[in-house]
């Protein structure tokens, strides 16, 4: 079989991914975007240390972490997913810290670098510790923001049932509106249907992007509820403008 024939066959019959490959691809994509969101959060904190809160410095990230934990302790007493939401968030944050900084020996390296310069040490040791002293505040801020990111990530996992509940109500309401339109002979709009359908997934993704990337502390309800409502509206419009005949 010639190369041109094989290429033509591959074009007509594209290779279908299996369940395992699709799952791995989805997981890798999620991890990639979470890493991008974490990197953006760290860069935003560094930019704030230079431009917006230079007087606070590294204390700004520490205050953010304290405030995020305070939100969890005060307002997360119940959850549909776990029995003790506050304990779940703390364990999630602690586990993330251990995996990222303790098991990778990053914490030990930072402790060694933060020690005073030993006059009897090597030139390399003095250079490394002196260089770390210049960027120490930014390194500590990055580690603290990573903990803030882990706390917010745990909160978002607990907030997902809100989207499910809002979505179920929206779908039921949309289907009722659809039946009323069918029996009253109303006109349907494929334009509205397709645009509302495209809005569903981005409204969920934007919740994660906005909340995880915010450089200041904000109560999760002020982010989750508006986007959950937006998702519900998109679902309701999609269901109500669905085609008349299945």
Distance CA 233, CA 213 (A): 24
Q: For residue 6, tell me if it sits in a domain.
A: no
No. of H helices and E strands in the chain?
8, 0
How crowded is residue 42: how many other Cβ atoms within 10 Å of its Cβ?
20
- CA 94, chain centre distance (Å): 18
Tell me which residue has tokens 């799952």. 23
**CB distance 183 to 218 below 8 Å:** no
Tell me which residue has tokens 């334009």. 191
Q: For residue 47, tell me if it sits in a domain.
A: yes
Q: Which domain does 203 fall in, by range?
A: 21-240
Q: For residue 12, tell me if it sits in a domain.
A: no
For 125, 145, 173, the CA distances from 220, given in Å and listed in that order, are 44, 16, 26
Tokens for 84, please give them.
């003790």
Tens-digit pLDDT profile for the chain (246 aa)? 555 555 555 455 555 666 677 777 777 877 888 888 888 889 989 898 888 888 888 888 889 888 888 888 887 766 666 777 888 888 888 888 888 888 888 888 888 888 887 777 778 878 888 888 888 888 889 999 999 999 999 889 888 888 999 999 988 888 888 777 777 666 666 667 777 778 888 888 888 888 888 888 888 889 999 999 999 998 888 888 776 544
Q: For residue 2, tell me if it sits in a domain.
A: no
pTM above 0.85, yes or no: no
Q: For residue 5, tell me if it sits in a domain.
A: no
Q: For residue 91, tell me if it sits in a domain.
A: yes
Tokens for 246, please give them.
């299945």
Distance CA 229, CA 66 (A): 28
Domain count, the chain: 1
């Amino acid at each position: 079989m010639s190369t041109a024939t094989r290429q033509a066959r591959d074009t007509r019959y594209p290779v279908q991914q299996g369940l395992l490959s699709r799952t791995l691809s989805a997981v890798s994509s999620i991890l990639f975007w979470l890493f991008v969101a974490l990197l953006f959060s760290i860069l935003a904190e560094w930019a704030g240390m230079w431009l917006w809160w230079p007087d606070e410095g590294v204390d700004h990230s520490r205050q953010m972490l304290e405030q995020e934990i305070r939100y969890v302790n005060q307002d997360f007493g119940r959850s549909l997913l776990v029995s003790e939401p506050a304990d779940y968030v703390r364990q999630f944050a602690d586990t993330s810290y251990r995996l990222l900084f303790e098991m990778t020996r990053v914490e030990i390296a930072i402790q060694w670098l933060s020690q005073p310069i030993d006059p009897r040490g090597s030139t390399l040791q003095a250079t490394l510790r002196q260089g770390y002293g210049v960027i120490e505040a930014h390194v500590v801020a990055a580690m603290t923001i990573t903990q803030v990111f882990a706390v917010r990530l745990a909160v978002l996992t607990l907030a997902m049932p809100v989207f499910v509940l809002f979505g179920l109500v929206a779908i039921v309401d949309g289907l009722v509106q659809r039946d009323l339109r069918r029996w009253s002979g109303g006109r349907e709009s494929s334009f509205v249907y397709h645009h509302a359908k495209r809005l569903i997934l981005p409204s969920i993704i934007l919740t994660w992007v906005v909340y995880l990337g915010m450089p200041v502390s904000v109560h999760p309800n002020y982010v989750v509820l508006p986007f959950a409502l937006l998702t519900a509206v998109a679902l309701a419009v999609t269901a109500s403008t669905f085609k008349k005949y299945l």
